[in-house]
């Protein structure tokens, strides 16, 4: 594992005094990394340290609490929000061991009275953890920061690819963006179980804060698995299948996996940007040679993926394949 992910300083994207040349160079660097590997490490995001620290405290509070407190908060087929017990889900393809993580699943916070809730069952209010910490406040503050970074990166990528950023950002009006609070139990150096099995993400972009424990690995184009090393205050960025489709394969969605072979709990909280439910994702650029994917509707496809987590449910005929890879 000698290869490393590209590290890109994006602070100029938020600086009104930065030159057009600097922003164009940053956009090209993002484009090249996400074209070649599908992953990059971001520096200079500008996320306030206290916002990130409170987010870490919130995740710790969730998984420090007694689990019997969450018996009425488990995710359901009809409401994919709330607590996911350890080993609850297996990979979408089936026939594999359960992933060794527990989680709290959160989606965009929408009032039950919002008209969008009548258009898709994927919208609605979250089920917040019943703990003695303001998890909701910490998450929503952090969520706003991730949205700011996500949108800036998308605008830069649109510049590099010659796309209309207004069109792409418009797809994220009332989005199906979501976050997962994750807790992986301690492991051993010999542990061969997956924290999360090799898979691809199913979204536009994923943002993941620096993880002090490690264990996230990325498959390179030549089939190597390399560790996604990320320094404090930096973020791992990766492309999901929806953005790969939107760009006709000019940006690539890459398999990745998590193992925890340390004696410590590993906690993380990825942010996944997803278009509005009625957005039909189809290439906005001439596809790269050999790229052939059918268009998909964001809401229907998202429902299909999330619903298929339950072992007694099969994927519909939507052409989606997120794993397994390299296992």
Assess whether pLDDT exceeds 80 at residue 145. yes
Assess whether pLDDT exceeds 60 at residue 113. yes
Show the tokens assigned to 41.
């490490």
Q: Nearest Cα to 61, choosing from 8, 170, 139, 115?
A: 139
The reported pTM is: 0.94
Give the tens place of pLDDT for each residue, 242-259: 999 999 999 999 999 998
Given a contact cutoff of 8 angstroms between Cβ atoms, the answer to whether 233 and 212 are in contact is no
Give the tens place of pLDDT for each residue, 193-230: 788 888 999 999 999 999 888 889 999 988 899 999 99
- Which contacts qualify for 314-323: CB closer than 8 Å, 24 or more apart? 315/92, 319/293, 319/294, 320/202, 320/241, 320/296, 321/93, 322/92, 322/199, 322/200, 322/201, 322/202, 322/241, 323/91, 323/92, 323/93, 323/197, 323/198, 323/199, 323/200, 323/255
Show the tokens assigned to 71.
């018996």
Query: What domains does the chain contain, in order, with CATH numbers?
Result: 7-307 (2.60.120.330)
Give the tens place of pLDDT for each residue, 278-294: 999 999 999 999 999 99
pLDDT value, residue 119? 95
Give the tens place of pLDDT for each residue, 4-59: 899 999 999 999 999 999 999 999 999 999 999 999 999 999 999 999 999 999 99
Beta strands in the chain (DSSP E): 7-9, 39-43, 82-84, 102-107, 178-184, 196-199, 205-209, 216-219, 225-227, 235-239, 256-258, 266-268, 271-272, 280-281, 296-297
Calculated CA dihedral for residues 247, 92, 117, 182, nearest 10 degrees: -90
Show the tokens assigned to 103.
């989680």
Max distance between CA atoms of the chain, in angstroms, equals 55
Q: Nearest Cα to 121, choosing from 132, 110, 129?
A: 110
Given a contact cutoff of 8 angstroms between Cβ atoms, the answer to whether 25 and 10 are in contact is no
pLDDT value, residue 320? 59
Give the confidence band of 1 by pLDDT, cuts at 50, 70, 90. very low
190 to each of 196, 260, 261, 263, how far by Cα in Å?
16, 10, 7, 11
Show the tokens assigned to 219.
């498959």
- Average pLDDT on 76-104 reads 80
Helix (H, G, I), strand (E, B) or coil at 286: coil
Give the confidence band of 327 by pLDDT, cuts at 50, 70, 90. very low
Computed over every residue of the chain, the mean pLDDT equals 91
Assess whether pLDDT exceeds 70 at residue 94. no
Tell me the HSE value of 266 on the side-chain side, using a 13 A CA sphere: 24
The percentage of the chain sitting over the pLDDT mark of 70, rounded to a whole number, equals: 91
- Average pLDDT on 293-320 reads 77
* Conformation bin of residue 124: beta by default, left when phi > 0, alpha when psi is -120 to 50: left
- Average pLDDT on 77-81 reads 86
Q: Nearest Cα to 11, choosing from 113, 156, 136?
A: 156
Assess whether pLDDT exceeds 70 at residue 63. yes
């Amino acid at each position: 594992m000698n290869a490393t992910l590209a590290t890109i300083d994006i602070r100029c994207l938020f600086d009104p005094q930065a030159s057009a040349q600097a922003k164009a160079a940053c956009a090209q660097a993002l484009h090249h990394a996400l074209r070649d590997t599908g992953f990059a490490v971001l520096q200079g995001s500008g996320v306030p340290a206290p916002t990130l620290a409170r987010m870490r405290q919130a995740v710790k509070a969730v998984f420090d609490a007694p689990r019997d407190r969450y018996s009425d908060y488990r995710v359901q087929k009809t409401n994919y929000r709330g607590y996911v017990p350890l080993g609850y889900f297996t990979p979408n393809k089936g026939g594999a061991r359960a992933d060794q993580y527990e989680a709290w699943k959160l989606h965009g916070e929408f009032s039950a009275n919002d008209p969008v809730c009548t258009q898709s069952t994927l919208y609605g209010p979250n089920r917040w953890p019943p703990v003695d910490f303001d998890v909701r406040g910490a998450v929503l503050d952090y969520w706003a920061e991730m949205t700011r970074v996500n949108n800036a990166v998308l605008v830069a990528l649109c510049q590099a690819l010659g796309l209309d950023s207004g069109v792409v950002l418009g797809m994220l009006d009332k989005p199906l963006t979501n976050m997962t609070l994750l807790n992986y139990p301690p492991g051993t150096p010999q542990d061969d179980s997956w924290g999360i099995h090799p898979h691809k993400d199913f979204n536009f972009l994923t943002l993941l804060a620096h993880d002090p424990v490690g264990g996230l690995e990325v498959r390179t184009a030549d089939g190597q698995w390399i560790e996604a090393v990320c320094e404090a205050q930096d973020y791992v960025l990766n492309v999901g299948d929806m953005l790969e489709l939107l760009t006709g394969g000019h940006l690539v969605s890459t398999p990745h996996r998590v193992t925890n072979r340390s004696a410590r709990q590993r906690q993380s909280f990825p942010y996944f940007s997803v278009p509005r439910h009625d957005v039909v994702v189809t290439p906005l650029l001439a596809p790269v040679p050999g790229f052939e994917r059918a268009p998909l509707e964001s809401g229907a496809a998202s429902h299909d993926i999330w619903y298929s987590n339950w072992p007694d449910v099969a994927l519909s005929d939507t052409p989606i394949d997120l794993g397994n890879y390299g296992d």
